[in-house]
């Protein structure tokens, strides 16, 4: 066999490998991950809970979302310069900072255009008026589009070789198939493995609550 033949053979072998091994699904392992769709919601400081629901008021847990985190019975109305959204769910327990998470679609309704942010990074974000049964308040910042992310228990993260802060990719199958890049990994003892996307992202991917994505173990842009 001469060099030319050898080269051709190698190229053929590689083509076989590539054909059986899609370039967008890398050879590295992939893992199914359950998807939870975050509708618009509000996290409140205890001071703001009391302005909106009354002095000494405590949020009422209704449904556990992640260990120690719950959807509360309480809802608010969000009012922006262009419109309002009623019956927006409050999540508990109360946090240090009030944070409002909306979709871009909601932003067009309200007339506010928050950046995509990881939870807790509120500097320079827009504000909004919150209206509750006992009062109202105007926050000057705290409205975000939440960055898509996955909650990992440390045991899952270790098994998959993932560190807190990694940016991952998740493939969604079906007639609106897509690959979400830039998915933030958040690792915490109190987390249960779940990917969180907002309603725009769920609708764009044709995903329903509890559907499964495929976690591709590569960094964004790689």
**Of the two residues 50 and 101, which places its CB atom closer to a second copy in the complex?**
101
Per CB under 8 A, does 212 bind a second copy? Answer: no
- What is the nearest approach in angstroms of a second copy to the Cβ of residue 14? 6
101 near a second copy (CB under 8 A)? no
From residue 147 to residue 186, the character string flagging contacts with a second copy as x (rule: CB under 8 A) and all else as - is: xx--------------------x-----xxxxxxxx----
Is there binding between residue 73 and a second copy (CB under 8 A)? no
Cβ distance to a second copy smaller for residue 3 or 96: 3
CB of 77 vs a second copy, minimal distance in Å: 18
Q: Does residue number 11 form part of the binding site for a second copy (CB under 8 A)?
A: yes
User: Quick one: which segment of 90-98, 124-132, 155-163, 198-206 binds a second copy (CB under 8 A)?
Assistant: 198-206
What does the chain look like in DSSP terms, one character per residue?
--HHHHHHHHHHHHHHHHHHS-TTS-SS-EEEEEEEEE-SEEEEEHHHHHHHH-TT----EEEEEETTEEEEEEEEEEE-SS-EEEEEEEEEEEESS-EEE--HHHHHHHT--PPEE-TT--TT---EEEE-SS-EEEESS-EEEEPPEEEE-HHHHHHHT--TT-EEEEEE-STT-EEEEEEEEEE-TT--SEEEEEHHHHHHHT--TT-EEEEE-S-TT-
- Footprint of a second copy on this chain (CB under 8 A)? 1, 3, 6-7, 9-11, 13-15, 17-19, 21-28, 103-105, 115-116, 147-148, 169, 175-182, 197-201, 203-206, 218, 220-222
């Amino acid at each position: 066999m001469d060099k030319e033949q050898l080269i051709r053979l190698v190229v053929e072998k590689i083509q076989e490998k590539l054909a059986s091994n899609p370039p967008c699904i890398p050879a590295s392992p992939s893992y199914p991950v359950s998807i939870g769709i975050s509708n618009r919601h509000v996290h409140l400081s205890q001071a703001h809970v009391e302005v909106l629901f009354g002095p000494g008021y405590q949020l009422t847990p209704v449904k556990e979302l992640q260990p120690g985190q719950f959807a509360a019975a309480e809802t608010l109305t969000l009012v922006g310069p262009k419109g309002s959204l009623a019956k927006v769910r409050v999540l508990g327990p109360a946090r240090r900072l009030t944070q409002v998470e909306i979709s871009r679609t909601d932003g067009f309704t309200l007339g506010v255009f928050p950046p995509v942010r990881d939870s807790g990074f509120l500097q320079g974000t827009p504000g909004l008026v919150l209206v509750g049964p006992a009062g109202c308040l105007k926050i000057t910042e705290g409205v975000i589009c939440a960055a898509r992310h996955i909650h990992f228990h440390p045991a899952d993260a270790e098994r998959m070789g993932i560190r807190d802060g990694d940016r991952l990719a998740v493939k969604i199958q079906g007639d609106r198939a897509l690959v979400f890049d830039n998915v933030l990994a958040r690792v915490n003892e109190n987390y249960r493995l779940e990917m969180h996307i907002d309603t725009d992202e769920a609708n764009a991917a044709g995903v329903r609550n509890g559907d499964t994505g495929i976690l591709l173990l590569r960094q964004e842009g790689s």
